[in-house]
Amino acid sequence: MDKKLPVMSPGGTPVVSAPGIDPDDLGMTDAELEDEIRRLKRERNAVILAHYYQESEIQDLADFVGDSLQLSQAAAKTEADVICFCGVHFMAETAKILNPDKLVVVPDLAAGCSLADGCPAPAFERWLQQYPGHTVVSYINCSAEVKALSDIICTSSNAVKIVKALGDQKVVFAPDKHLGAFVAKQTGRDDLVLWQGTCIVHETFSERRLLELMAKHPDALVIAHPECHAGILRHAHHVASTSGLIAYAKASPAKRFIVATEAGILHKMQLEAPDKELLAAPPEDESCSCNVCPHMRRNTLAKLYLCLRDLQPQVDVPEAVRVRALQPIQRMLEMSV
Ligand code: 13P
Ligand code: SF4
């Protein structure tokens, strides 16, 4: 996207990009940017929350690195004045829903998510009308407006537990059809109604090339995120959220892992399990970096510096939406302690 043009927010609302500042023109080295980020963080009483899919330099500067659930839990209890969220828009929006009186800023407001973008609230609301009497379980990778239409939110680390806790209630699950299919299998609920969304990153892993890699490294364990399609999950020795995959690689006696999720996770996984060999699961197209989330990687050190310096761009949620979206998030947090 042309940096000089106004950008659209992931929800489709036009927003104005930081006026006249080109992060690439700052003329600062990475070390200078890192020093300034640390200084500004103290000055602003800001907390930097980063997802495991962020580039390693950002993870290393963050006060807390975690998966979607851990980041919402951290956002719910922070005492900082400013939450600087290095992740994607729906994560920062969740932090704002939990902290209406705090300033929530992001390095790049256009960092969206294919799952959230593929489930617009008006279409979701119309679709739900076909399923009266169903409990609406939405994966946290969705907009505030979709959360406001939901009964309970889940993440990849608690989706199975939450659907199990609903007993025999009829359930609509959105927006990730692969996570939904995984939950259906784990809970024995083949009647889950699934919105047909996917993650552009996890969709690209190739079963054919995974089998080739497994044949080359027969000792390797395959560990996969449940956003992967069934062609990958059927070969996985362990399926879990990002934090769950890191914990598994660390605790397992195995020495080699094929990791089927976004490549940013390898940084923390390698730090936590330094004696293990980690192989990234391959996408079908050998020449592409499809296992790197283009949305997550919109955030850069330079943009993080500008965001702390200018306290822009800010993430806001209309109060009526926020109040309705808060309840299903709180239900999730209460069930996740
Ligand atoms: P978790 O961090 O919950 O594992 O989810 C991964 C993801 O895709 C975030 O966008
Ligand atoms: Fe969304 Fe997929 Fe990127 Fe996660 S990895 S933010 S699910 S597009």
Q: Which of 206, 202, 201 is nearest to 283 (CA)?
A: 206
Determine the average pLDDT of the residues in 307-319.
98
Which residue lies with its CA nearest to atom 2 of ligand 2? 199
Determine the average pLDDT of the residues in 270-279.
98
pLDDT band per the 50, 70, 90 thresholds, residue 337: confident
Determine the average pLDDT of the residues in 84-108.
97
Q: Which of 87, 77, 96 is nearest to 116 (CA)?
A: 87
Q: Which residues pair with 256 in a beta bridge?
A: 277
pLDDT at 24: 77
Structure tokens at 310: 């200018």
Q: Please report which ligand is nearest the Cα atom of 202.
A: 2
pLDDT band per the 50, 70, 90 thresholds, residue 167: very high
Report the share of the chain in percent with pLDDT over 70: 94
Domain boundaries, the chain: 7-113+295-317, 116-194, 202-280
Determine the average pLDDT of the residues in 195-208.
97
Q: Is the CB of 201 under 6 A from ligand 2?
A: yes
- Whether residue 214 has pLDDT greater than 50: yes
Determine the average pLDDT of the residues in 281-295.
92
Q: Do domains 7-113+295-317 and 116-194 have the same CATH topology?
A: yes
Q: Is the CB of 68 under 6 A from ligand 1?
A: yes
pLDDT at 51: 98
pLDDT at 11: 40
pLDDT at 21: 64
Q: Is 99 helix (H, G, I), strand (E, B) or coil?
A: coil
Q: Please report which ligand is nearest the Cα atom of 295.
A: 2
Q: How far apart are CA 3 and CA 20, in angstroms?
A: 9
Shortest-distance atom of ligand 1 to CA 199 = 8
Residue 35: phi, psi to the nearest 5? -60, -45
Q: Would you state the CATH architecture of domain 116-194?
A: 3-Layer(aba) Sandwich (3.40)
Which residue lies with its CA nearest to atom 8 of ligand 2? 113
pTM of the entire predicted model? 0.92
pLDDT at 336: 85
Q: Would you state the CATH architecture of domain 202-280?
A: 3-Layer(aba) Sandwich (3.40)
Task: Give every CB contact of residue 61 below 8 A, 6+ residues apart in sequence.
Answer: 34, 37, 38, 48, 50, 301, 304
| Contact assessment for residue 6 and residue 112, using Cβ atoms and an 8 Å cutoff | no
Q: Is the CB of 295 under 6 A from ligand 2?
A: yes
pLDDT at 247: 98
Residue 294 has what DSSP assignment? T
pLDDT tens sequence across 23-69: 778 899 999 999 999 999 999 999 999 999 999 999 999 999 999 99
CA–centroid distance, 51 to ligand 1, in Å, is 8
pLDDT at 234: 98
Q: Identify the weakest region by mean pLDDT among 13-17, 84-88, 146-150.
A: 13-17
pLDDT at 75: 93
Q: How far apart are CA 229 and CA 284, in angstroms?
A: 13
Residue 178: phi, psi to the nearest 5? -75, -45
- Whether residue 9 has pLDDT greater than 80: no
What's the chain's average pLDDT? Answer: 93
- Whether residue 7 has pLDDT greater than 80: no
CA–centroid distance, 27 to ligand 2, in Å, is 31
Q: Please report which ligand is nearest the Cα atom of 296.
A: 2
Task: Give every CB contact of residue 320 below 8 A, 6+ residues apart in sequence.
Answer: none
pLDDT band per the 50, 70, 90 thresholds, residue 277: very high
Q: Is the CB of 299 under 6 A from ligand 1?
A: no
CATH number of 7-113+295-317: 3.40.50.10800
